[in-house]
Homo-oligomer: A and B are copies of this chain.
Amino acid sequence: MSEVLDIQTGKRELTKATNRQTILNAARVVFGELGFDAATVRDIIRRTNLSVGAFYNYYRSKEEVFDALADDGARRFRPILHAQAAKATDFESYLRAAVRAYFDFIAEEHSDLAAFGMARREVAHPRTDTPEMMAVYAEVRQALADVLDRGLAPKVDLDYLATSCIAVAREVGDQMLIREHVDVAGATEFVVRLILGGVRALPGAGG
Interface of A with B (CB < 8 Å)?
1, 4, 35-38, 63, 66, 124-125, 157, 159-161, 163-164, 166-168, 170-172, 174-175, 186-187, 190-191, 193-203
Contacts and interface: CB of A to CB of B under 8 A. Distances in A.
A171 B175 contact: no
A194 B162 CA distance: 12
Contacts of A187: 160
Contact of A159 (B159, B160, B175): B175
Main secondary structure of the interface of A (DSSP, over half): helix
State the number of copies, please: 4
Contacts of A168: 164, 167-168
Contacts of A35: 35, 37
A160 B196 CA distance: 16
Given A194-B198, A194-B199, A201-B196, A164 B157 contact: no
Nearest to A203: B193
Nearest to A156: B190
